[in-house]
Amino acid sequence: MKVIIDGIPIEVEPGTSILNAARQIGGDVVPPAMCYYSKLKDSGGKCRTCLVKVSKGSEKDPRPMPKLVASCRTAVMDGMEVQNITSPEVLEARKGIVEMLLINHPLDCPICDQAGECDLQNLAFDHGAVKTRYEFDRRTFEKIDIGDKIQLHMTRCILCYRCVFVADQITDHRIHGILNRGDHSEISTYIHAAVENDFSGNVIDVCPVGALTDKTFRFKNRVWFTKPVDAHRDCDHPGCNGKVALWYKGEEVLRVTARKDQYGEVEEFICNTCRFDTKKTADWVIEGPRKISHKSVISSNHYEFKPLPVVKTNPQLQGANKQQFERDTRL
Amino acid sequence: MARKLLLEHINVPGINTFDVYRSKGGYASVEKALKTMSPDDVVEEVKKSGLRGRGGAGFPTGMKWSFLAKPEGVARYLVCNADESEPGTFKDRYLMTYIPHLLIEGMIVASFALGAKTSYIYVRGEMMPQIRILEKAIAEAKNAGFLGKNILGSGYDLELYVQPGGGAYICGEETALLESLEGKRGNPRIKPPFPAIAGLYGCPTVVNNVESIAAVVPIINEGGDEYAKVGIGRSTGTKLISAGGNIKKPGVYEIDLGLPVEEFLYSDEYCGGIANGKRLKAVVAGGSSVPILPANLFFKTAKNEPRLMSYESLAEGGFVTGTMMGSGGFIAFDEDQCIVRNTWNFTRFYHHESCGQCSPCREGTGWMEKVLHRLENGHGTLSDMDLLVDVSKKIEGNTICPLGDAAAWPVASAIRHFRDEFEWHVTNASEAVVRNYGLAHYADPLDIKETA
């Protein structure tokens, strides 16, 4: 099936979502995703940051779709034409969504362990406004411990439901979920029960913000001061193949996570023994330093002011993003 | 006086019992449909009638039925949406309370048309009396052989169940209703797939409003063409309107679609005019989620044509100068009502009822409520109006389900039409907390009627 995203054609399998088609193109036309997780079935559609405009439905039915659609949950049709960063409407909507996501977020990045590898931080950096227009108290929750290794700081949560899907699909049973509704909804367990199973640690990796953090790493270090190294061990847990990233500070392994790809999604889920209990270099077979994009804050230690992603070689995209370009460089 | 199709026998004593209902010609449509018609004939008849969904969106019912996927060996379901929770709408509750057999008769015919062997009536949790009434009525109908195995010897089996909901507004959205019916958290599903392809338990499902299903009964009894003669243009048939607010005779009225709004509001047959000799300021024509209209725009469209109670005429002018038929929750505001307070009240409702699944609605409704609360209590600023319009635009159309739109429209329209009242709340803050803005120039152009 042929689909055109921001003027770039690509051939994809039937049933591919627009987001995944854009990821196959790669680069700047990939819509951001806060709740979609390609390894988790039924995830996506909730955060609305990946909204795109379908300017031509398909070859058969060329009518445009009346509303912006969530690209992570909309399958491509043959001949579909999609506008992402070429559509001012999409950029405007996305800015609105980022603002909405941030109004109840505490913005405590300076003390948050997730800072540096936080999807929301990256999103807000690329698409957010400099100042907020929200002048009211933000919702707050008490921190709770779900199990002895994981802490839940609900105040930071953006309710992406990823950790719920992890518990449903990766572990044998789920005991946490969403309580209440609207902006009072919270991730919690029934009467503070502990989340205890061999794969529970994966909720930390899938959390796009710092709502679920690793208690063995809490406040130990900033992410960008640690160096990631690929390693593996012979894990005897069925379902875990022991391929991880070790985060070193000097000689010491500060934390162990699954290996994340460029979209912040883990390549393979790992078990709790690998994550929490094996933190000595001797436990691991080192493969070499993990490749991190040089643009990432983890390798450069700071965010770089850059204009909104624009495909340099595509004149159509440059024209459409002229305004954006000027605004961002002025800033 | 127009002929009533749904509420014809509403005043007959004991019409809520099977025997009285049957003696007044009830269940004739079941006999007609099951004995003389094929399921496709019934669908065809409903298509011919031009019946449009009475739950709010106004999607043609016959079309919805014909979209239902019919794979071999997979069960199909009909679900009746009786989760009526829109502020201002109470027609379904009235219908279920006083004439429950009409709904059950409609359910049997509609289930037959769709080939559903099991059907559900999802009733809002707060409506406990109605749930008991329906269960009693179902037992009576079953006793008389209109439900269960081999209905009237036609070989068609149907089981009908009443399912109480938890009382959440969001469960009136069809996919959230299906989730709730399956026993899960009532979060709307992401469409596609639509319920006609994969609905309840993954099977093809049709979800219809109570009134739409009840309207199937007169359509089958009299024929689709005959039904289509009532009404105007593409708005065919009769509609139940729940009239409320500052009118003399609040209640549920059955009107022929196409009735002039003036007649509906002022004639003694219907609302009987504004109570206490006051004048009309604004109208919410179809339940809290449709745009509010000032009186002058309500009676006359922007093209200076008289407005009628029909889907098209109320929507004349789009969202700029028009509104929507919605679910028929007609709320009239007299000159003493404060639009800011009312808008805040509506927003508070949507804030409370937002399911919290997708971000624009979860965060935006709360934001709008807080800004409006501030405005109403005299702490607003002039930029708040632009902020509200901007926030409502960011919500509208960007959410999974229509609740986001429903929350955004009343705010956007109130500011569009009543901006000077909002500004007065800022500039005269201390006065605004003790008195109301009054009528201003929104007055209805009619003379004040003599009041008795």
Per the structure, the complete domain to which residue A228 belongs is given by 221-293
Whether chain A has a CB inside 8 Å of the CB on B370: the answer is: yes
- Please check whether residues B60 and B200 belong to one and the same domain: yes
Which of B114, B77, B393 has its CA nearest to residue B204?
Answer: B77
Evaluate the CA torsion angle A134, A138, A139, A145 in order and state its sign. positive
Of B8-12, B16-20, B282-286, B300-304, the range with the lowest mean pLDDT is B300-304
- Please check whether residues B353 and B417 belong to one and the same domain: yes
- Quick: pLDDT tens for A53-85: 999 998 998 999 999 999 999 999 999 999 998
Q: Is residue B169 part of a domain?
A: yes
Vertex A271 angle, CA A268 and A275, to 5°: 100
CB contact under 8 A, A46 and B168: no
- Rounded average pLDDT over A107-115: 91
Nearest neighbour of B370 by CB, restricted to A73, A100, A136: A136
Mean pLDDT score of chain B: 91
CB contact under 8 A, A182 and B355: yes
To the nearest whole Å, the CA of B381 is away from the closest chain A CA by 12
CATH at A11: 3.10.20.740
To the nearest whole Å, the CA of A206 is away from the closest chain B CA by 18
Q: Is residue B8 part of a domain?
A: no
Count CB-CB contacts under 10 A for residue B159.
15
Q: Looking at the predicted structure, is the pLDDT value of residue B405 above 90?
A: yes
CB contact under 8 A, B398 and A48: yes
Task: Give percent of chain B with pLDDT exceeding 90.
Answer: 77
> For chain B, what is the domain count?
3
Q: Using CA coordinates, name the residue in chain A closest to B189.
A: A45
Q: Report chain B residues whose CB lies below 8 A from the CB of A67.
A: 397-398
Residue A303 has what pLDDT? 66
Q: Is residue B441 part of a domain?
A: no
Residue A70 has what pLDDT? 94
Size of interface A-B (CB pairs under 8 A): 88
- Please check whether residues B180 and B71 belong to one and the same domain: yes
Residue B448 has what pLDDT? 47
Q: Report chain B residues whose CB lies below 8 A from the CB of A159.
A: 356-357, 359, 362
Whether chain A has a CB inside 8 Å of the CB on B397: the answer is: yes
Q: Looking at the predicted structure, is the pLDDT value of residue A159 above 70?
A: yes
Whether chain A has a CB inside 8 Å of the CB on B176: the answer is: no
CB contact under 8 A, B359 and A103: no
Whether chain A has a CB inside 8 Å of the CB on B185: the answer is: yes
Higher pLDDT, B319 or B267: B267
To the nearest whole Å, the CA of A39 is away from the closest chain B CA by 18
Q: Is residue A87 part of a domain?
A: yes
Whether chain B has a CB inside 8 Å of the CB on A98: the answer is: no
- Rounded average pLDDT over A194-201: 86
Strand ranges inside B96-214, DSSP E: 118-123, 159-164, 205-209
Whether chain A has a CB inside 8 Å of the CB on B351: the answer is: yes
Mean pLDDT score of chain A: 87
What residues pair up with B334 in beta bridges, in sequence order?
A: B280
Higher pLDDT, B448 or B428: B428
Q: Is residue A108 part of a domain?
A: no
CATH at B283: 3.10.20.600
- Please check whether residues B250 and B366 belong to one and the same domain: no
Q: Looking at the predicted structure, is the pLDDT value of residue A5 above 80?
A: yes
> For chain A, what is the domain count?
2
- Please check whether residues B111 and B157 belong to one and the same domain: yes
Nearest neighbour of A68 by CB, restricted to B170, B364, B398: B398
DSSP letter, residue B300: B
Q: Is residue A225 part of a domain?
A: yes
- Quick: pLDDT tens for A244-289: 999 999 889 999 999 998 888 999 999 999 999 999 999 999 999 9
- Report d(CA B93, CA B79) in Å as an integer: 17
Q: Using CA coordinates, name the residue in chain A closest to B402.
A: A67
- Please check whether residues B63 and B30 belong to one and the same domain: yes
Residue B58 has what pLDDT? 86
Q: Is residue A329 part of a domain?
A: no
- Report d(CA B278, CA B121) in Å as an integer: 41
Conformational region of residue A220, where left means phi above 0, alpha means psi within -120 to 50, and beta covers everything else: alpha
- Please check whether residues B94 and B142 belong to one and the same domain: yes
CATH at B189: 3.40.50.11540
Of the residues B295, B314, B334, the one at which a domain ends? B334
| Per-residue pLDDT band at A130 (split at 50, 70, 90) | confident
- Quick: pLDDT tens for B47-83: 999 999 998 888 999 999 999 999 888 999 999 999 9
Of the residues B296, B313, B334, the one at which a domain ends? B334
Q: Is residue A156 part of a domain?
A: no
Please list, residue by residue across B402-437, b when 16 or more beta carbons sit within 10 angstroms of its beta carbon and e when fewer do. Answer: bbbbbbbbbbbbbbbbbeebbbbbbeeeeebeeebb
Q: Is residue B38 part of a domain?
A: yes
Q: Is residue A288 part of a domain?
A: yes
Q: Report chain B residues whose CB lies below 8 A from the CB of A93.
A: 394, 398
- Rounded average pLDDT over A234-247: 90
- Quick: pLDDT tens for A207-220: 999 999 999 999 99
- Please check whether residues B326 and B396 belong to one and the same domain: no
Interface test with A, best of B190, B361, B363, B365 (most A CBs within 10 A): B363
| Per-residue pLDDT band at B446 (split at 50, 70, 90) | very low
3-state secondary structure chain A: CEEEECCEEEECCCCCEHHHHHHHHCHHHCCCCCCCCCCCCCCCCCCCCCEEEEEECCCCCCCCCCCCEECCCCECCCCEEEECCCCHHHHHHHHHHHHHHHHCCCCCHHHCCCCCCCHHHHHHHHHCCCCCCCCCCCCCCCCEECCCCEEECHHHCCCCCHHHHHHHHCCCCCCEEEECCHHHCEEEEHHHCCCCCCCCCHHHHHCCCCCEEECCCCCCCCHHHCEEEEEECCCCCCCCCCEEEEEEECCEEEEEEECECCCCCECCCCCHHHHHHCCCHHHCEEEEECCCCCCCHHHHCCCCCCCCCCCCCCHHHHHHCHHHHHHHHHC
Which of B206, B212, B207 has its CA nearest to residue B50?
Answer: B212
Q: Is residue B445 part of a domain?
A: no
What residues pair up with A174 in beta bridges, in sequence order?
A: none
Judge whether A1 and A78 are in contact, CB under 8 Å: yes
Task: Give percent of chain B with pLDDT exceeding 70.
Answer: 97
Q: Is residue B443 part of a domain?
A: no
Nearest neighbour of A100 by CB, restricted to B353, B355, B363: B363
Whether chain A has a CB inside 8 Å of the CB on B394: the answer is: yes
Q: Report chain A residues whose CB lies below 8 A from the CB of B198.
A: none
- Quick: pLDDT tens for B228-243: 999 888 899 999 999 9
- Please check whether residues B354 and B285 belong to one and the same domain: no
Per the structure, the complete domain to which residue B169 belongs is given by 18-229
Q: Is residue B34 part of a domain?
A: yes
- Please check whether residues B45 and B167 belong to one and the same domain: yes
- Please check whether residues B34 and B179 belong to one and the same domain: yes
- Please check whether residues B213 and B76 belong to one and the same domain: yes
Count CB-CB contacts under 10 A for residue B16.
18
Q: Looking at the predicted structure, is the pLDDT value of residue B21 above 50?
A: yes
CATH at B378: 1.20.1440.230
Q: Is residue A29 part of a domain?
A: yes
Q: Looking at the predicted structure, is the pLDDT value of residue B216 above 50?
A: yes
To the nearest whole Å, the CA of A257 is away from the closest chain B CA by 28
Q: Is residue B444 part of a domain?
A: no
CB contact under 8 A, A183 and B366: yes
- Report d(CA A22, CA A12) in Å as an integer: 10
